[in-house]
């Protein structure tokens, strides 16, 4: 293999990125010896290239488990809702990706105290609760819970949200999402979250809490989206008015 004047480990790093880019997210990678044979360089060179890839969050090395590819992350761009739209489906559609849903729960219920607080309603007010596992390009991505005051759109309970978009359905019933407030945190997954997301208990997950408003400033939705903390990149732009 012909080499250039670039430091060898950096050249190998670029070749590795091109090779690994065909892998699915979190795929296990070959060991140093196999990579050394594959790229026809010494193991110290491979080790140095892997260290750079780890520094750049393209791979992750877990003691006792091996090395995994995490460079193929889901891009979540919150910077331009005017063009990208609100909601996961619209954001990812603008990035050339598609989403699918598996509905776990679709019910009318009384909200727990924290949900009622986020929605600014009473615990005696009924809400529509939609719980889904969401897939991006057929890959498991997130566990989502959406809560909407039932009085806003009573017909939600009759819609098949395996096939239909939640925000588009609201708009068809004259409820227009206008603004979202998001808070993102990282914490350890409990056993239920880990089971749904195909993770181990205590693995890190990102939790996005979303409050959605209409144009008049009324809260029309509270939602949580939980996903593997290593599986997304978030883009947010702040500007001075």
Domain boundaries of the chain, sorted by first residue: 8-69, 74-235
Sign (positive or negative) of CA dihedral 205, 227, 146, 191 = negative
Which CATH fold would you assign to the domain 8-69?
Answer: Arc Repressor Mutant, subunit A (1.10.10)
Q: To 5 degrees, how large is the angle CA 220–CA 134–CA 56?
A: 105
CATH of domain 74-235: 3.40.1410.10
Burial 222-234 (b: 16+ CB within 10 A, else e): bbbbbbbbbbbee
Q: Which two tokens stand for residue 241?
A: 């008015």
- Please state, in angstroms and as integers, the Cα–Cα distance from residue 232 to each residue in 18, 78, 194, following that order: 20, 12, 17
Judged by DSSP in three states, 43 sits in helix
State the virtual CA torsion across 184, 195, 105, 110 in degrees, nearest 10: -60
What pLDDT, on a 0 to 100 scale, did the predictor assign at position 88? 66
Q: List CB contacts of 95: < 8 A, sequence separation 6 or more.
A: 75, 77
For residue 177, give the nearest of 88, 85, 115, 239 by alpha carbon: 85
| Statement: the pTM of the whole predicted model exceeds 0.85 | no
User: What are the structure tokens assigned to 126, written together?
Assistant: 């009924």
Give the torsion sign (CA, 38, 43, 45, 48).
Answer: positive
Splitting the chain (241 residues) into consecutive groups of 10 residues, what average pLDDT does each group show? 70 89 82 93 93 85 86 66 57 65 96 97 98 88 95 95 91 91 94 95 94 95 92 70 60
**Degrees to nearest 5, angle at CA 193 with 191 and 195:** 65
Dihedral in degrees, nearest 10, Cα atoms 78, 202, 69, 29: -170
């Amino acid at each position: 293999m012909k080499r250039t004047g670039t430091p060898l480990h950096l050249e190998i790093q670029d070749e590795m990125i091109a090779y690994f880019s065909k892998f699915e997210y979190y795929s296990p990678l070959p060991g140093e010896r196999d990579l050394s044979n594959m790229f026809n360089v010494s193991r110290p060179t491979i080790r140095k290239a892997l260290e750079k890839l780890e520094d750049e969050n393209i791979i992750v090395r877990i003691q006792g488990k091996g090395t995994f590819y995490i460079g193929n992350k889901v891009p979540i761009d919150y910077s331009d809702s005017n063009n990208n739209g609100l909601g996961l489906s619209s954001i990812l559609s603008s990035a050339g990706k598609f989403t699918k849903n598996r509905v776990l729960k679709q019910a009318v219920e009384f909200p727990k105290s924290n949900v009622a607080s986020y929605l600014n309603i009473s615990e005696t007010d009924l809400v529509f609760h939609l719980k889904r596992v969401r897939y991006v390009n057929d890959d498991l991505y997130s566990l989502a819970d959406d809560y909407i005051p039932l009085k806003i759109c009573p017909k939600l309970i009759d819609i098949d949200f395996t096939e239909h978009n939640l925000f588009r359905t609201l708009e068809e019933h004259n409820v227009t999402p206008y603004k979202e407030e998001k808070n993102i945190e990282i914490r350890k997954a409990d056993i239920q979250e880990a089971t749904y997301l195909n993770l181990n208990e205590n693995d890190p997950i990102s939790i996005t809490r979303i409050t959605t408003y209409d144009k008049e400033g009324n809260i029309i939705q509270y939602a949580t989206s939980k996903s593997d903390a290593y599986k997304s990149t978030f883009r947010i732009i702040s500007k001075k008015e």
